[in-house]
């Protein structure tokens, strides 16, 4: 039996807000959380979307905080909020955990390797492997709740969280599990990793201006978002608050280039997601774009949206919330899933912040700078990764 | 005027980075004509920075679309480096 899948819990830890409510308040007010970077200095770029004044021991006891890399801490904090929000603690073998991360425990890895190479300590901390492994977040969440069902981590760069949520959605839809915690987390602010981004020359010196003519690149962000998924009929039966439904998931690969996006691949994933949701492009009232703010992504994504939506493309509201929460890489799709669900729930479409002037290469109605009230039933959330791996989710307003 | 020594070193770096013979690299060819994509471009910039001990600012990168423009840009940066 196929189930409809409800999202009954949302947890967020990100630059615009350290809770679901504060995150969403910032987004609906169009407030960008991009600020001068404090965690790392000495790079060609100096702005980022860091979680402001984050102190791990506000959330975790000092021993626990020391065991976990920053990306796992974010994941656990967001998962706790999502579980508390849904009102039930799912456990055991009929519950799944699927998380995404692009880089895993880079913060810890950088610190340990610096001690090895720069300070010639000749050794690294014995917890380096369990702290840095990409699945640390999934494992820690499973431990927290005694979840013994399918639990794993997906790493597909900037599409990681969307792939993770999509996989969890399918497991709940097909009755393989009764509930799933799914999302993504990332903590990219360490010198070695940021130097690698600097060398790619795609980080903006100013801010993230998706779809603007004068956009200069992406701005890195950090954080986590986790969703609690369960069958719609069971969520209704127990009187749960339903933020919205996940209705479809589509994936594709460009098979084209390691870093240059391809419109055809993105369009293929959007069409696959719509088909999976059994809905036509005409029904879609909002697209949360991948919208990184790089020259290549935004023009290519706009072209892909035109391929899918045809003559209606200019009429469909499209926004990039990365203009506010930055590009949180493997967490991006989860932050954007949260934003899209909250947009449908509240009937408010978050804007593309920092917008200056339209780029003819992009066009589209990008909801410039101010949120818009709109009752929308169906929405898409796009994630397109380096390496040409694409993932798209379809969300539906709770009825 | 492009300095012969700089030209030779730039062509050498490009040839090594792209695994192609130096003779195939003409100073007046664009990167497009040489069939270099954006990733190739980043690789070459990085190697050139190492070769000459310079840092090429991000905002100058879009203006570098040929070997000649790269040579001229490097000479300018080397002159600035000497002056400082």
Predicted pLDDT at A253: 98
Give me the residue label for tokens 């040579």.
B71
> A244-253 and A35-36 as β-strands: parallel, antiparallel, unpaired?
unpaired
Give me the residue label for tokens 């504060």.
A22
By the 10 Å C-beta count (0-12 exposed, 13-18 middle, 19+ buried), A321 is classed as buried
Predicted pLDDT at A353: 98
Active site residues of A: 158, 290, 327
Predicted pLDDT at B84: 82
SS3 A55: coil
**Overall residue count recorded for chain B in this entry:** 84
Ranges of residues in chain A whose predicted pLDDT is under 50? none
Helix A106-117 to helix A191-200 angle (10° resolution) is: 100
Nearest by CB: B42 against A200, A205, A257: A200
pLDDT in tens, A282-309: 999 999 999 999 999 999 999 999 999 9
Check CB contact under 8 Å for A205 and B58. Answer: yes
A5-237 and A247-396 in the same fold: yes
Torsion of CA B10, A196, B34, A215, to 10 degrees: -110
All residues at 6 or more sequence positions from A54 whose CB lies less than 8 Å from its CB, including other chains:
A18
How far is the C-alpha of A340 from the C-alpha of A336, rounded, in Å?
Answer: 6
A349 is written with which tokens? 């479409």
Nearest by CB: B46 against A199, A259, A260: A199
Check CB contact under 8 Å for A44 and B58. Answer: yes
ipTM comes to 0.79
Predicted pLDDT at B39: 87
All residues at 6 or more sequence positions from A98 whose CB lies less than 8 Å from its CB, including other chains:
A138, A150, A151, A152, A153, A154, A164, A165, A167, A168, A171, A180, A181, A182
CATH architecture of A5-237: 3-Layer(aba) Sandwich (3.40)
The whole-angstrom distance between B58's CA and the closest CA on chain A is 6
Check if CATH label 3.40.50.300 holds for domain A247-396: no
> A95-100 and A179-186 as β-strands: parallel, antiparallel, unpaired?
parallel
Of A288, A249, A277, A46, nearest to A164 by C-alpha is A249
A44 in B contact zone (CB under 8 Å)? yes
Helix A136-145 to helix A70-86 angle (10° resolution) is: 40
How far is the C-alpha of B80 from the C-alpha of A248, rounded, in Å?
Answer: 56
Q: Which residue of A has its CA nearest to B47?
A: A199
Give the mutation candidate from B36, B37, B38 for the A interface (greatest A CB count, under 10 A).
B38
Residue A198, Cα to own-chain centre: how many angstroms?
Answer: 22
Phi, psi of B18 (to 5 degrees): -95, 0
A123 is written with which tokens? 């050794």
CA distances from A364 to A29, A237, B8 (A): 21, 41, 47
Check CB contact under 8 Å for A200 and B45. Answer: no
How far is the C-alpha of A350 from the C-alpha of B78, rounded, in Å?
Answer: 47
Whether the per-residue pLDDT at B2 is higher than 90: the answer is: no
A244 is written with which tokens? 């919205």
Whether the per-residue pLDDT at B1 is higher than 80: the answer is: no
A354 is written with which tokens? 């920092």
The whole-angstrom distance between A200's CA and the closest CA on chain B is 7
Nearest by CB: A199 against B38, B42, B59: B42
Q: Starting at the earlier edge strand, list the strands of the sheet with A318-319.
A: A151-154, A95-100, A179-186, A223-231, A5-14, A244-253, A389-396, A378-385, A284-288, A318-319
Residue A188, Cα to own-chain centre: how many angstroms?
Answer: 14
Q: What is the mean pLDDT of residues B63-81?
A: 94
Of A288, A290, A340, nearest to A318 by C-alpha is A288
pLDDT in tens, A26-84: 999 999 999 999 999 999 999 999 999 999 999 999 999 999 999 999 999 999 999 99
Considering only residues B2 and B58, tell me which one the structure prediction assigns the higher pLDDT.
Answer: B58
SS3 A237: helix
Whether the per-residue pLDDT at B38 is higher than 90: the answer is: no
Domains and CATH numbers, chain B: 4-83 (1.10.1200.10)
Domain boundaries of chain A, sorted by first residue: 5-237, 247-396
0.90 surpassed by pTM = yes
């Amino acid at each position: 039996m196929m189930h409809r899948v409800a999202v009954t819990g949302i947890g967020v830890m990100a630059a615009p807000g350290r809770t679901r409510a504060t995150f969403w308040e910032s987004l609906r007010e169009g407030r960008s959380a991009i600020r001068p970077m404090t965690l790392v200095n000495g790079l060609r770029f100096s702005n980022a979307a860091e979680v402001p004044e984050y102190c791990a021991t506000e959330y975790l006891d000092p021993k626990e905080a020391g065991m976990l890399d920053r990306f796992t801490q974010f994941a656990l904090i967001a998962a706790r909020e999502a579980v508390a929000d849904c009102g039930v603690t799912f456990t055991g073998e009929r519950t799944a955990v699927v998380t995404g991360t692009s880089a895993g425990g880079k913060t810890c890895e950088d610190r340990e390797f610096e001690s090895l190479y720069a300070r010639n300590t000749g050794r690294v901390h014995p917890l380096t492997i369990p702290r840095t492994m990409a699945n640390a977040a999934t494992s820690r969440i499973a431990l927290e709740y005694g979840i013994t069902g399918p639990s794993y981590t997906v790493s597909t760069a900037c599409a990681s969280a969307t792939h993770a949520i999509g996989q969890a959605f399918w497991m709940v839809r097909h009755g393989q599990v009764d509930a799933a915690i799914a999302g993504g987390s990332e903590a990219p602010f360490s010198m070695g990793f940021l130097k690698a981004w600097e060398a790619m020359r795609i980080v903006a010196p100013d801010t993230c201006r998706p779809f603007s003519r004068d956009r200069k690149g992406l701005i890195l962000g950090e954080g986590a978002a986790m969703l609690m998924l369960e069958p719609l009929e069971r969520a209704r039966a127990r009187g749960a608050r339903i933020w919205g439904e996940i209705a479809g998931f589509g994936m594709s690969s460009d098979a084209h280039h390691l870093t240059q996006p391809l419109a055809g691949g993105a369009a293929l994933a959007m069409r696959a997601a719509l088909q999976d949701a059994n809905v036509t492009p005409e029904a879609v009232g909002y697209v949360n774009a991948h919208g990184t703010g790089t020259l290549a992504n935004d023009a290519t994504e706009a072209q892909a949206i035109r391929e899918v939506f045809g003559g209606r493309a200019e009429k469909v509201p499209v926004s990039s919330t990365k203009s506010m929460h930055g590009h949180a890489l493997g967490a991006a799709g989860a932050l954007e899933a949260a934003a899209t669900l909250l947009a449908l729930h509240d009937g408010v479409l978050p804007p593309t912040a920092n917008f200056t002037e339209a780029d003819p290469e992009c066009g589209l109605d990008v909801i410039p700078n101010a949120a818009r009230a709109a009752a929308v039933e169906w929405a898409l959330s796009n994630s397109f990764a380096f390496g040409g791996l694409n993932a798209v989710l379809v969300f539906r307003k709770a009825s | 005027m492009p300095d012969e020594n700089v030209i030779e070193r730039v062509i050498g770096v490009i040839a090594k980075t792209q695994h192609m013979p130096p003779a195939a690299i003409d100073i007046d060819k664009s990167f497009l004509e040489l069939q270099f994509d954006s990733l190739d471009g980043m690789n070459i910039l990085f190697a050139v920075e190492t070769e000459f001990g310079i840092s090429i600012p991000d905002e100058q990168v879009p203006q570098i679309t040929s070997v000649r423009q790269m040579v001229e840009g490097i000479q300018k940066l080397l002159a600035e480096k000497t002056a400082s």
